Chains A and B, each alone.
Chain A
Amino acid sequence: MTATAHRDVRTPAPAHSDVKPHSPAQLVRLVAGREISTRIRDKGFLVSSAVLILLIIGLMVFQVVIGGGESTSRIGLVGGDQAVEQVLRQQGQALDTEVTVVQLADEDAARTAVAEEDVEAALLDPTGSRPELLVQTAGGSAEDLVQSALAALSVADQLSEAGVQLEPAPEVDVVALEGAEDDRSQATIVALLGVGLLYFLFILFGQFVAQGVVEEKSSRVVELLLATMRPWQLLAGKIIGLGALGLMQIAVIAVVGVAGALAFDVVDLPGQLIGTVLTVLAWFVIGYAFYAAVFAVAASLVSRQEDLGSVLTPTTILLVVGFVIALQAAQDPSSTMATVTSYVPGLSPMVMPVRQAAGEAAWWEVGLAVLLMVLAIAVIVRIGGRIYAGALLRTGGRLKLREALAAEKS
């Protein structure tokens, strides 16, 4: 042992000119930076991100395969003139089908084409008295199409033979009393998908926040942290860091989703799609702040990961309720339940986007819901911050809210 109890040299405490005390913002940034750099390497996070993106892409591929867009139809034609081709195409337009007419040499060629599924159906002798339609199996959409085309052709022929000159039918001027129903329903579906995503991400990132809080408490590293910063700085850094990561994740999903939807031509009105996606993103920020704060405060009451479930359950139930109401609201956006719950803090991030997409919410309604939510977040951060501060240094069993408030650190 080289140590001795007595030393003669007494030097004054060294000066540290290179060390400047941090501002609160710098500390919050440091904590947030640590959260991001730790979580971004976390397997759970990476896997969930990949799964989400694959899910979105899969959904669009499914949409394309199932034929959400325009259908096409190839009809073979043996004999017949330009007029027949034109009528077939016109009739196709009326039925929302793009018709391609393929001229075939004779019946044999027609049979082969149908058998090889080169064409959906082949029409023989359209202008004769007994036109024939060859199909693989009876009952396809091509039958109706061809039948009505020939009917139109025959009516026109008979009329012109009778010397009737047809005036073109007047164009109907459409006056919509309500917004276009079809367009809104697509936006509602996008909003619902977005809300499903919000629900998932609130739970995922809420869990991340909660686990982080308990990890710090159970490993007691929180004592070292609180020796250098105040509880609210730790809380803010944690929520902001993970929130930035969550926002990044949902933004990536949004970009992939929108780009995919445009590329695959799944939606009719890209403007509305993008508007809805931006709304969902904005609601993510507000909703996340709310749920992350609640989860963090709840988690601070326990000291072991095993006990997390019991304190998080009430909040998780609120999330489930919000999601179920959002599903309902998509069916009936003007229902009383949807209207009322779209103002309730905690539920509004999931119900309001659906109402907005359905065109049922006026701007002041959205503003009110946002305001209520911001007020709720302010209250939670204020009271929750005190609970968090009081509970952090108390380890052992589960703390009661009142105990935590009483134990608040100076």
Chain B
Amino acid sequence: MLEFDGLYKAYGSNQVLEGVSFTVAPGQMFGFCGSNGAGKTTTMRIAMGLARADAGKVRWSGRPVDEIVRRRIGYMPEERGLYPKMKVGEQLSYFARLHGLDARAAGRAAEHWAERLGLGERRGDRVEKLSLGNQQRVQLAAALVSEPDVLILDEPFSGLDPVGVDSLAEALLEQCRRGVPVVFSSHQLDLVERLCDAVGILARGRIVASGTVAELRSTTVGRQLRVVAPDASPGWASAVPGVRVVSEQRGDTVLELAPGTDDQQVLAAALATGRVTHFAWREPTLVELFRDAVTTPQEVAA
């Protein structure tokens, strides 16, 4: 288990983290979401020892993450960082060695990962000569080259084209299958929704929602019901007790039902107006969940 336990961090008077806690199981892909400046990068940097938490601990397998554990973590910083004048292959092999591989194993691993991420022919090129997308791949390869036990990736998908996104996603899923816990932050919530087993939403210095996407959905208060009744006159639904009209547009209404309200009663009311072409609970997208979690002042339990 990778545990983030009650992290606090302030920069001067700016309290960035106020007790961030979540856990990632081996083989789990954890999507770390939050608005800009919410503290995602700070959380990850604390895990990598690049920032010091005022309080709280990060643990891996029950053991506080120290330098020895950190050498088994593959890390991709938000600010991409590679030696611009070093050749791709040498660079990868250098990072592998820094993580504890011996020279021969490092050379093999560098070759393997360059090949695996489609950089085979660029191994002898300096990093600065590569396109941004390819540099991104080298960055990922640098995180993976030591066959890490844990992956912590800050915005790994930013700046990639759709093909690049797919190949990165495939590489990460493969790591999950190996049993590696993967934490990555992203603003691309559709991607998080598609890839992640678990999601954590960071807002106001805390995790305001976490769990699987399905869990988040089920715990969202005020689920919405969409009813399309083309012949209905405006305001038809407001008469039903326990129903709040969220939006209404030419017979297409979105309703929010108070707890305990019977949706069949709403359907009956709708049928009373004439034809009903659509009647379904809306599955909130992660984007909506996110917006909801980030804007509601009270915490959403998970």
Interface residues of A (CB under 8 A from B): 1-3, 5-7, 9-14, 16, 18-22, 27, 30, 34, 38, 215-216, 219-230, 393, 395, 409-410
Q: Which of B100-120 contact A (CB under 8 A)?
A: 100-102, 105
The answer to whether A225 and B68 touch (CB under 8 A), given A5-B197, A7-B176, A219-B82, is: no
Given known contacts A16-B147, A409-B49, what 16 new A-B pairs fall within 8 Å (CB)?
A1-B166, A1-B194, A3-B169, A3-B170, A5-B194, A10-B25, A10-B179, A12-B26, A13-B180, A14-B147, A19-B100, A21-B67, A215-B83, A216-B83, A223-B81, A225-B98
Which of A14, A227, A229, A395 contacts B179, CB < 8 Å? A14
Give B14-31 as 1s and 0s: 1 = Cβ < 8 Å from A's Cβ atoms.
000000000001110100
Contact B179 A220, beta carbon cutoff 8 Å: no
A223 closest partner in B (C-beta): B77
* Interface check B279, CB cutoff 8 A: no
Which of B85, B98, B179, B194 contacts A3, CB < 8 Å? B194
**How many residues on chain B are close to A (CB under 8 Å)?**
57
Which of B25, B83, B193 contacts A221, CB < 8 Å? B83
B46 closest partner in A (C-beta): A410
CB distance from A115 to the nearest CB of B (A): 64
Which of B27, B101, B149, B179 contacts A18, CB < 8 Å? B101
**Which B residues touch A220, using CB under 8 A?**
77, 79-81
The answer to whether A34 and B94 touch (CB under 8 A), given A18-B101, A228-B71, A393-B50, is: yes
Q: Cα distance A19–B147 when bound, in Å?
A: 10
**Which B residues touch A2, using CB under 8 A?**
170
A18 closest partner in B (C-beta): B105
Q: Cα distance A12–B178 when bound, in Å?
A: 8
Contact A230 B146, beta carbon cutoff 8 Å: no
Contact B195 A5, beta carbon cutoff 8 Å: yes
B96 closest partner in A (C-beta): A19
Q: Cα distance A13–B82 when bound, in Å?
A: 28
Contact A1 B169, beta carbon cutoff 8 Å: yes
The answer to whether A13 and B100 touch (CB under 8 A), given A38-B85, A219-B84, A228-B71, is: no
**Which B residues touch A393, using CB under 8 A?**
50-51
Q: Which of B153-186 contact A (CB under 8 A)?
A: 166, 169-170, 173, 176-181
CB distance from B112 to the nearest CB of A (A): 14
A228 closest partner in B (C-beta): B98
CB distance from A221 to the nearest CB of B (A): 4
B146 closest partner in A (C-beta): A19
Contact B83 A9, beta carbon cutoff 8 Å: no
14 A–B contacts, CB within 8 A, in A order = A5-B29, A10-B27, A14-B179, A18-B101, A215-B85, A216-B83, A220-B79, A221-B82, A221-B83, A223-B75, A224-B82, A224-B95, A228-B98, A393-B51
Q: Cα distance A353–B77 when bound, in Å?
A: 48
* Interface check B196, CB cutoff 8 A: yes
